[in-house]
Structure 1
Amino acid sequence: MNEIRQLIWNGELNVLVSIDPSFLMKGSPKEMAVLRIRVPRETYLINYMPLIWDRIQDFLSFDPLNEKEKYFWFEHNGRPIRWNYPVGVLFDGLVASNATFATPSEIHLENAITFFRVHLVMGESLPSTVIPILSSSNQAEKFWFHQWKQVCFILNGSSKGIMSLSVNESRKFWRSVITRNFHDFTEISNKISPSRPRHVPIIIQNHKDLGTGGISQPTIRMAGVNPTLRDIEEEVFSAKEIIDAESYVIVAQGIEIPWDTALLDLYLKFRSFDGFLYITLVPKISVTKIFP
């Protein structure tokens, strides 16, 4: 199982960050508005904000660390996206809904590089679905730790496991994410995660809902059972929706998952770096359009 976890941990995406022209002084070189980076699937976009600001600092028309009247957020294809989801989860939720990861001239090239294209923008008001990007250097760390407190409670019935970590262990835990230290991450996350949890921390997104709030977090009880995804079909799909599960593909960590997969096995192998298992529902017709 650790081999699968490490493959997921080492997974990366090509991300192209474009900067809104309003950020830059007049006459700035056009190439300053584009940044190409390799990003782990298991991280947050805002962990790269210092790199972005450093890249364009000599051409900025304002000081982002002292800007109090503007909000910053990321968009993809004109839609706000949530930085508080792992980069890989964002990608999984968008890749099947449109073909904007390659330019028209690149689509038919055999060796074309696929980029997750995001746009950093600012405005006087914030879209309702996103958390503002702050200048605080530990914003991501605080959010991530809060996620793990939720996960610990869902798994164990209390948050004692993570709250009892020493200060050094807590620092080591977050540092393992930043430095990509799989050994340290596994060592500490295993202290929090029981082999037989009471409930499974799961978040479900439909690819079309990533920017519109259509995210569900069902409570899946594990006491004495190990249900398959098929067994929890009603929890996967909203009770208000009449949907044929056979028309949908389940994607976790960029991989298509069979409906007969045991949920606990899926969680232990495919959970994300914040402790949650993210699954994305993708209509098969969308998959066919993008991957003929």
Structure 2
Amino acid sequence: MTAPQNPITRAIWDGTLPIKLSLDTTEAAALGAKTIIEPYFIEAPRCSYFPLLTSQLRKYFGDMMLNFIGDDAEIWYDVDGTPLKWHYPIGLLYDLHTGYRPDSNSPPPLPWSVTVHFKDFPADKLIRAQAIDATQDFFMSMIKEADFLRNGSTKKVMNLSKNDQTQLWDGLWSKNYDRFWSVNYRLVMNDGQMPRHIPLRIYLPDNCPVLQEPVSPLDDNGNPLTLGDVLHQILPELFPSSLPSENSFAAPVIHGVIPQLDMPIVRASQNLCYPDNFLHIVVLLGI
């Protein structure tokens, strides 16, 4: 089945990040490296997850005759000493950890330098199970949570056939837009019904807790709320107005761009969500 053609969701799906994956130098010696191990370069989908890259990394470093310790669940990644949450999409992690504002004059930090670890898993900072099966389970739980927020139940997801539910993950894993969106379109568009709440998460700097509040798509008078309205409601100190011209200190970033604040929040959710169907918004400070 072919997915309905939406140039916005298609562009988001096709978005990639060049990443330089370097093996931790102290671990390289422990794994038996006799020479300098060259980094692994990859053009990774922004909508994918690091555990889906692990098999490629094991093969790359395995071809160098390294003596691996542990299995895929033990492999983890960090940026500048900060472990990366494997259950976050890659694009979200980049926007969150680089702090790059698209409206600044500085070039983006590319390729993104990420360090790969094969031991000493930081169980106090990361969820332990990060194999592909665990990633699939977590991804589907997010799909169901988004459905619950939209409708007050998970019936739309649970009423999908087993084949359709499997197709969501297979489409993401195989990077097949039509396979994924031919099913997900029905969930995101909600059969033309106005959602009860918008599946939305907001990420702030300095390791602040993730914000997830019930966000109505309409105001008390039944008028559509915009993205700016929602940010003003949740973070009035950072967004003193719902108008973009009056917000210069903080900027929302979604998929590496600053979206228009006058966009209706329902439209933003339907077009700018990640494959887990959440609208993930990174708030960056400063010009």
TM-score (norm 2): 0.82
* Correspondence 1:162-173 to 2 at 5 A: 162-173=157-168
Equivalent residue, structure 1, for 2:144: 149
Q: Where does 1:268-283 land on structure 2 (aligned, <5 Å)?
A: 268-283=270-285
Cα drift, residue 29 of structure 1? 3.2
Tell me the CA shift for residue 122 of structure 1: 4.9
Gap runs ≥5 in structure 1: 99-106, 286-292
Identity of aligned residues (%): 22
2:97 is matched with 94
Residue in 1 that maps onto 2:80: 77
Partner of 1:288: none
The answer to whether residue 234 in structure 2 is matched with residue 236 in structure 1 is: yes
Stretch moving more, 176-185 or 10-19:
176-185
Q: Which of 116, 126, 130 is equivalent to 2:126?
A: 130
Distance 2:44 2:121 in 1: 28
Mapping of residues 1-292 of structure 1, within 5 Å: 2-21=6-25, 22-23=27-28, 25-32=31-38, 34-58=39-63, 59-65=65-71, 71-96=74-99, 114-124=110-120, 126=122, 128-132=124-128, 134=130, 136-193=131-188, 194=190, 195=192, 196-206=194-204, 208-209=205-206, 212-222=207-217, 224-237=222-235, 242-243=237-238, 245=240, 246=247, 247-285=249-287
Q: What RMSD in Å do the two structures reach over aligned CA positions?
A: 2.6
Q: CA deviation at 1:36?
A: 0.5
Secondary structure of the corresponding residue to residue 75 of structure 1:
strand
Cα distance in 1 for residues equivalent to 2:121 and 2:9: 39
Greater per-residue strand proportion: 1
Distance in 2 between residues matched to 1:66 and 1:252, nearest whole Å: 30
Deviates more, 1:176-185 or 1:144-153: 176-185
User: Within 2, Cα distance between the matches of 1:29 and 1:133?
Assistant: 32
Counting matched residue pairs gives 263
Distance in 1 separating the partners of 2:183 and 2:72: 36
Distance verdict in 2 for CA 1:268–1:42, change over 3 Å: same
CA offset at residue 155 of structure 1? 1.1
Could you list the runs of 5+ residues in structure 2 that have no partner in the other structure?
Answer: 241-246
1:124/1:92 CA distance change after superposition, 3 Å: closer
Return the offset for 1:133: 5.2
User: Could you state the TM-score of these two structures normalised by the residue count of structure 1?
Assistant: 0.80
Structure-2 change in CA distance of 1:66 and 1:89 (3 Å): closer
